[in-house]
Structure 1
């Protein structure tokens, strides 16, 4: 079940990025700037391309570590679609392992959502056309490969998916992506001394890391105006 942004706003109010000034002063030392995933939009009938490939993760400056990613980055771009659109999505698997992808919360017929029935072998492509017929919501897409899903998501095969409609477009909240409207993806990791994420199969209690990453980095800062900003998590 997806939680619409309107419901989230009513329940908790708009998230303001308070404390940006002290963080900025601290940022000159060790804090990295908040990475903002590129934005892919489905306007004018253009297809959206998602290439699954090896990509670097830079937890510590100047020490990139090979992980998985989408379109050359650790984790994927933010995808923004509009209610009423028919979106052609082109997945290309350029990894050396099988991958199945899915979109959590998207209300489309089962055969179009992905999953194990749409497994992509190395160098295979899959191009569903998705009819977007739902209200504004914050969703996500991720690997959904049987017996490999958790490890592939942990290593970077995931991203944010936004559905917009006429109501969300006219809400009195910040809406300039990457300027005053930021995607925030929080992950827990276990890092070795070189900043390489280590993964082990979770037990009955699930996997719990000892380090939090925000959009793939530790303790980032973001500069915003005094008017504040909105954060989609």
Structure 2
């Protein structure tokens, strides 16, 4: 028999609840919650130091009901913080006037408007808060704007590491002739001009692979990174 602890959370409140985690005592890290089907309470992303295999987690309760504390699997991942990482405690560090000063310190001499600034979906915000958010995004236009042929850098979360040890990475020998290169470029140009490839809002479907058919023509196959 296992004793399950339960706790009563008031409706529409934020409560700090102690939860077990799979991390050593003294570890300071970012604890990410797993997606859940329980819509009446939400677990916030947490930065805390492990003590007695537990951390304090902020839980938002939408309904007042007695609930069993979530299992440790509810916290999906622990990302340990580095010694040189600055953690801002919630002690008036993020008040609006401080954030305004911080954004002003980041401003460049000239930050041009974003290309799709009028189509930004940043939620329902006050006009002053929205202007502040846009001013911050302008400082990072290089990673939030879509580039021709690929999604924004901020949406691409794919990193490949090839460990070759002491040996240099070897490149495969080129097996196609210059004539085949010209044919591939011609077929790809026709597909691009006919808009056979449609733009996407996320990183899935990038990159594409050029496939040669038996009749000698080429077509572009989308490589789904989710597989």
Q: Normalising TM by the smaller chain, what interval? A: under 0.3
Structure with more contact order per residue of length (Cα contacts < 8 Å, sep ≥ 6) = 1
TM-score normalised by length of structure 2:
0.20
Q: Which has the higher strand share?
A: 1
Q: Which has the higher helix share?
A: 2
Query: Which has the larger Rg?
Result: 2
TM-score normalised by length of structure 1:
0.20
